[in-house]
Amino acid sequence: MRFDILTLFPEMFAGVFESSIIGRARERGYVEIALHNIRDYAAGKHRVTDDTPYSGGGGMIMKPDPIFNTIEHVLGVEVPVEGYATLVASKKIESPATVYPPIILLTPQGRVFNQAIARELATHERLMMICGRYEGVDERVRQYLVTDEISIGDYVLSGGEIPTMVLVDTLIRLIPGVLGDEAATTKDSHSNGLLEYPHYTRPPEYRGHAIPEILLSGHHAKLEIWRRQQSLARTLSRRPDLLTKAELSEADHAFIESLRMGE
């Protein structure tokens, strides 16, 4: 998978993209990440990338030209007046080698990111991401360039760089082979619509607190039931909203009902 990231602050990504799972995935060739400094594509001696809004109200707006220029340079295409989406739509009738990846703008106005959106985005070979800054980006970037807008939650950060790191980390974990243990992502919290059951490691007793006995019993079938029930109980108490969408068996429903009745 390849990520092309458009930013005014490429240096922000260094530590995160060089360490741990992302660093290893890059070294092993599972993922390629290219950082593009939007300022490099801005016109004039001062390479200005922002300007004041026409509507007044203060703050600075990212100019459209440097962002369009960066995309056109990186993809080697000219964005038609009708917009980039028309190129994406024409992809099917052109040669298979011509691929126009989604262009995602990270913004608090986007659809709110979750594991299902991560799985959907991970089906693409390549993604372009635009990190917004200042008060926002010129609306024509939204209208004629961007094909998707994503928020990482209902709060406002200083820019799209950290949200981009969140997306990249989440998507890389879904690439087969990256985590080594293939099963790991399918057991993660949220991957089945529920929160994960609790984990323990050695020692079996720590400061007088023993681990649940079932974990030492060696009874695999009972352990599976215990994990499922822990997962359901945790989701019910912390994120009951998730239960309405999760896939639940009759036994799951009965267990949840027993919890609700306070049994």
As annotated, the active-site residues are 108, 135, 173, 188
Examine residue 54 and tell whether it contacts ligand ADE (CB under 6 A): no
User: Which of 23, 153, 204, 240 lies at the binding interface for ligand ADE (CB under 6 A)?
Assistant: 153
160 forms part of the interface with ligand ADE (CB under 6 A):
yes
Select 153 or 204, whichever has its Cβ closest to ligand ADE.
153
Q: In this structure, are residues 38 and 7 in contact, taking their beta carbons and an 8 Å threshold?
A: yes
- Kindly write down the DSSP assignment for every residue of 155-177, as one continuous string: S--SSSHHHHHHHHHHHHTTSTT
Give least dist CB 155 to ligand ADE, A: 6
Among 152, 172, 174, 194, binds ligand ADE (CB under 6 A): 152
- Name the one range near ligand ADE by CB under 6 A: 42-50, 68-76, 151-159, 189-197: 151-159
Q: Which residue shows structure tokens 């005014």?
A: 8
Nearest residue to 109 via CA among 140, 141, 152, 158:
152
Q: Which of 152, 175, 173 is nearest to 104 (CA)?
A: 152
Q: How far apart are CA 177 and CA 196, in angstroms?
A: 22
Residues 6 or more apart whose CB falls under 8 angstroms from that of 227 comprise 197
- Using CB under 6 A as the binding rule, whether residue 151 contacts ligand ADE is answered as yes
155 binds ligand ADE (CB under 6 A): yes
DSSP SS3 for 109: strand
Binder among 7, 37, 70, 107 for ligand ADE (CB under 6 A): 107
Piece of the chain touching ligand ADE by CB under 6 A; list 16-24, 75-83, 106-114, 247-255: 106-114
Looking only at the bridges linking them, the beta strands covering 205-206 and 209-210 are antiparallel
Total residues at interface with ligand ADE (CB under 6 A): 13
- Residue 108 binds to ligand ADE (criterion: CB under 6 A): yes
Please give the residue ranges that form the binding site for ligand ADE (CB under 6 A).
106-108, 132, 151-153, 155-157, 159-160, 163
